[in-house]
Amino acid sequence: MTLELQGIGVSRGIAMGRAHILFHNQPDVREYLIPAFAIEQEVDRFLDAIEQARQQLKSIRNHIPANAPSDITSFIDTHLLMLSDSSLNKIPVEMIRQRRCNAEWALQLQRDALINVFNEMDDPYLRTRRDDVDHVVTRIHRILTDQEVAEHEIPDGRLKGHIIIAEDLTPADTVLMQHQGIAAFVTEHGGATSHTTILARSLGIPAIVGVESVRRYVQDNEPLIVDGETGIMLMGADERTQNEYEGRLIAFREHISSLSRYKSQPTKTRDGKAITLLANAELPEDVTTISAAGAQGIGLYRTEFLYMNRLSPPEEEEQLAAYRDVVEGMNNQPVTIRTFDLGADKTVDGGRHLNQTVVTNPALGLRAIRLCLSQPNMFRTQLRAILRASAYGKIKIMFPMISTMNELLQAKNMLEQCKHQLDNEHLEYDHHIEVGAMIEIPASAVCAELFAQHVDFFSIGTNDLIQYTLAIDRINDHVNYLYDPLHPAVLRLIHITLEAGKRHNIDVSMCGEMAGDPKYTRLLLAMGLEHFSMHPNAILEVKQVINETMLDELPSNTLEIMNAADIVEADALLELINGSSN
Ligand code: PEP
Ligand code: MG
């Protein structure tokens, strides 16, 4: 009998293989008293374990292939940094000396203290850091208690083709498993924004998270089917189901490889309308993937990642070097740099160097342009760096989360001040640099007409536009089901923005997830969107849809979708749009 378990599909793809269950049991840690004469020996044992953990992580890091996504290295680096932090390498030493307790116990007490602090903070980004603490502490505990290196850390190829079933996975685990050729993974915990999930997506490993008690239902070596798109995991599939999924797997592979032919083709509809496909980037290293995907530039460079995992914000020269690398790497293609969108789920160092406090509704609080303007020195440093980088290639500058005219004018004013400073210092920059605003708050979409008079372009951020329009916290699993790009309110706001752009003759692009979902491509084309920016992996799929579309043959009632009474009606109309003009 086929048994089906449902989780959250977080990384697309179908996998069929045997289960390999990982039991990451925390070592059983007990306290015992260390005699006074042996205290320093115990301290040495602890420090030695820290050093061994460091060597293990460095070894993992050295085995990361050069073409692996940059995220992987930074995750390992985060764990290495934690090993160098006094909260992990000094405080337990003090505890050993003061309490005269064993190293494992001191580490456990410190772990509990750190986790308690994280637990009190209702912030998803910090929750991810809490998991990191646990991963690092478990590694040290394993060394202290002489436990074997976890089975999946032995690169002997035993896991090849297996589907990993685990309570949770660390990013380091995921890297190693990818080397061993695992087919997929399914975990009990984790969410769409966890480090491991992000990694799975960039590594192309099908993955499902949030399958409650999955380790209790599955037997080791049992054949499984995983669909990373629908979040369905099947056990004991009958022949018919197996054949069905084998067919789907083949079709998925053929689909991915068939897309490569679009790489060298220009992006235009069958009736000749040229469309721009741009990529979203998070780190300077992303340029390689972006160029390989055939993007025509970067439509959104999320600079806030430069500010993360460090104790102080990057200085002007460091930022200049990062932006210059990106723009030079893009060989004269345009790069839209967004000023730091920190705050809400994207805090830095727990907000310490920005004096941020934990607030009840962080998404409605001091984030993005609001934070930029409240930290004028930090903002100016970034504006100067972006301006200076514009001397090396085509850069545009974009302000996130604009909600009032005053914010926009203040930001532009600061940009002008920075230009004057650079003039006085005889430093070069592009005097005609384009300035744009993100439209991601309903207020700014409604008033797009007014903002259009003061900017060179708009970029629609649907992730936040949907969050704020429908009052759905985009990272809250409980209300995720309400997250709907087809809601008439969302579509109407997009429409208003596109129309305002047309009337004022300024470019309007879209850089939220909606732009990278081929399901919405035709609808967006019909609404008049000409510039799409997305995760590089999505580019060829969207390009395929564009290149196969005859705009003239889209149903004449396409825009009726903005009046759809409910999701059923909207979905039916979308199906009609997507089924037409092939
Ligand atoms: C958006 O909100 O759609 C967007 C692109 O910005 P971010 O996802 O970084 O908030
Ligand atoms: Mg946004």
Q: Over the stretch 359-376, which tens digit does the pLDDT of each residue have? A: 678 788 888 999 999 999
- Lowest mean pLDDT segment, chosen from 109-123, 230-244, 320-334, 352-366: 352-366
- Asked whether residue 271 carries a pLDDT value surpassing 50, the answer given is yes
CA 505 distance to own-chain centroid = 32
Q: What is the pLDDT of residue 361?
A: 80
How many whole angstroms separate alpha carbon 50 and alpha carbon 58? 12
Cα–Cα distance for residue pair 544/267, rounded to 1 Å: 9
Neighbours of 302 (CB within 10 A): 18
| pLDDT exceeds cutoff 90 at 489 | yes
Pick the residue with more confidence: 22 or 310? Answer: 22
Ligand 1 atom showing the smallest separation from residue 280 Cα: 5
Q: Are strands 223-227 and 232-235 parallel, antiparallel or unpaired?
A: antiparallel
Query: Helix, strand or coil for residue 274?
Result: strand
- Partner residues linked to 165 by β-bridges: 21, 186
Contact in structure between 278 and 299 (CB atoms under 8 Å): yes
Name the residue at shortest CA distance from atom 8 of ligand 1. 463
Confidence of residue 289 (pLDDT cuts 50, 70, 90): confident
| 464 C-alpha to ligand 2 centroid (Å) | 5
β partners of residue 227: 14, 232
Calculate mean pLDDT across residues 136-147. Answer: 85
**Average pLDDT of span 33-40:** 89
How far, in Å, is the centroid of ligand 1 from the Cα of 512? 5
Burial class (CB in 10 A: 0-12, 13-18, 19+), 13: buried
Q: Which atom of ligand 1 is nearest to the CA of 463?
A: 3
In this predicted structure, what is the pLDDT of residue 563?
93
Kindly report the average pLDDT of the chain as a whole number: 87
368 alpha carbon – ligand 2 mean position (Å): 8
What gap in Å lies between CA 459 and CA 440, rounded to an integer?
8
Whether the pLDDT of residue 197 is over 60: the answer is: yes
Is the sign of the CA dihedral 185, 190, 191, 194 positive or negative? negative
Q: Best-predicted range by mean pLDDT among 145-159, 341-355, 491-505? A: 491-505
Which ligand lies nearest to the CA atom of residue 300 in the structure? 1
pLDDT at residue number 491: 97
Mutate to test the pocket of ligand 1, among 193, 304, 338, 438 (most ligand atoms within 8 A of CB): 438
Q: What single letter denotes the amino acid at residue 577?
A: I
Indicate the top mutation candidate among 280, 464, 470 to test ligand 1's pocket, ranked by most ligand atoms within 8 A of CB.
Answer: 464
DSSP assignment string, 334-381: -EEEEPP--BTTB-SGGGGGGT----S-GGGSS-HHHHHHHSHHHHHH
Give the tens place of pLDDT for each residue, 435-478: 999 999 999 999 999 999 999 999 999 989 999 999 987 766 56
Q: Residue 9 and residue 21: Cα distance in Å, rounded?
A: 19
What distance in angstroms lies between residue 494's CA and the mean position of ligand 1's atoms? 15
What angle, 0 to 180 degrees and rounded to 10, lies between the N-to-C axes of helices 103-119 and 39-62?
Answer: 60
Cα–Cα dist 415/421, whole Å: 10
Closest CA to 351 of 20, 134, 129: 129
Q: What is the position in ligand 1's atom list of the atom closest to the CA of 460?
A: 3
Q: Averaged over 542-558, what is the pLDDT?
A: 92
CA-nearest of 177, 174, 164 to 194 is 174
Pick the ligand that lies closest to the CA of residue 301: 1
**Could you tell me the pLDDT band of residue 149, with boundaries at 50, 70 and 90?**
low
Which region among 254-258, 343-347, 557-561 has the lowest average model confidence (pLDDT)?
343-347
Amino acid found at 400: P
pLDDT at 437: 98
Position 160 pLDDT exceeds 90:
no
Name the residue with the closest Cα to ligand 1, atom 1: 461
Q: What is d(CA 561, CA 486) in angstroms, rounded to the nearest whole number?
A: 8
338 annotated ligand-binding residue = yes
Answer yes or no: is pLDDT of 196 > 70: no
More confident residue, 58 or 409: 409
- Per the CB < 8 A criterion, the answer to whether 83 and 136 are in contact is yes
Can you tell me which atom of ligand 1 is nearest the CA of 464? Answer: 2
CB of 29 within 8 A of CB of 104?
A: yes
Q: Which of 340, 459, 462, 463 to mutate to test the pocket of ligand 1 (most atoms within 8 A of CB)?
A: 463
The answer to whether 440 is annotated as binding is yes
Expressed in angstroms and rounded, the spacing between residue 462 Cα and the centre of ligand 1 is 7
Would you say residue 265 has pLDDT above 70?
yes
pLDDT of the residue at 299: 97
Q: Is the pLDDT of residue 315 over 90?
A: yes
* Full-model pTM: 0.69
Give 51's contacts (C-beta < 8 A, 6+ positions apart).
Answer: none
Q: Select from 81, 110, 82 the least CA-distant residue to 98.
A: 110
Predicted confidence at residue 424, as pLDDT, reads: 98
Residues framing ligand 1 (Cβ under 6 A): 300, 302, 341, 440, 461-464, 511-512
In ligand 1, the atom with minimum distance to the C-alpha of 400 is 6
Sheet holding 163-166, edge to edge: 3-6, 232-235, 223-227, 14-21, 163-166, 184-187, 207-209, 8-11
- pLDDT (0 to 100) of residue 350: 42
Is residue 463 marked as binding?
Answer: yes
Measured in Å, residue 270 CA sits from the centre of ligand 1 at 30
Our mutation pick for probing the ligand 1 site, out of 283, 302, 444, 475, counting the most ligand atoms within 8 A of Cβ, is: 302
Give the catalytic positions in this structure: 195, 511
Classify burial at 395, counting beta carbons within 10 Å of its beta carbon; exposed 0-12, middle 13-18, buried 19 or more: buried
Distance 377 CA to ligand 2 centre (A): 23
Q: Which amino acid is at 395?
A: I
Tokens of 209: 């998270």
Structure tokens at 374: 């409240």
Whether residue 332 is predicted with pLDDT greater than 60 in this model: the reply is yes
pLDDT grade for 481, boundaries at 50, 70 and 90: confident
Nearest CA to 293 among 312, 280, 303? 280
Banded model confidence at residue 351, pLDDT cuts 50, 70, 90: very low
Task: State residue 352's pLDDT score.
Answer: 45
Domains annotated for the chain, with CATH where assigned, are: 3-24+151-242 (3.50.30.10), 36-144 (1.10.274.10), 268-351+361-579 (3.20.20.60)
| Confidence at 260, pLDDT banded by 50, 70, 90 | confident
Cβ distance 477 to 527 under 8 Å?
Answer: no
Work out the average pLDDT over 508-533. Answer: 95
Chain-centroid distance of CA 439 in Å reads 20
- Any idea which of 116-130, 321-335, 447-461 has the lowest mean pLDDT? 116-130
CA of 192 to the centre of ligand 2 (A): 16
Ligand nearest to the CA of 513: 1
Atom of ligand 1 nearest to the CA of 368: 10
Q: Is it the case that residue 72 has pLDDT exceeding 80?
A: no
Residue of the CA atom closest to atom 9 of ligand 1: 302
Task: Judge whether residue 243 has pLDDT over 90.
Answer: yes
Q: Which residue has the higher pLDDT, 288 or 460?
A: 460
Top-confidence residue, 185 or 286: 185
The gap from C-alpha 337 to its chain's centroid, in whole angstroms, comes to 17
Contact 187, 163 (CB under 8 A): no
Across 103-127, average pLDDT: 81
Q: Quote the tokens at residue 502.
A: 């047309």
Q: Residue of the nearest CA to atom 6 in ligand 1?
A: 461
SS3 percent helix, strand, coil of the chain, rounded to 5, is 55, 15, 35
Quick check: 269 pLDDT over 70?
yes
pLDDT number for residue 25: 55
Q: In which band, very low, low, confident or very high, does the pLDDT at 77 lie, cut at 50, 70 and 90?
A: confident
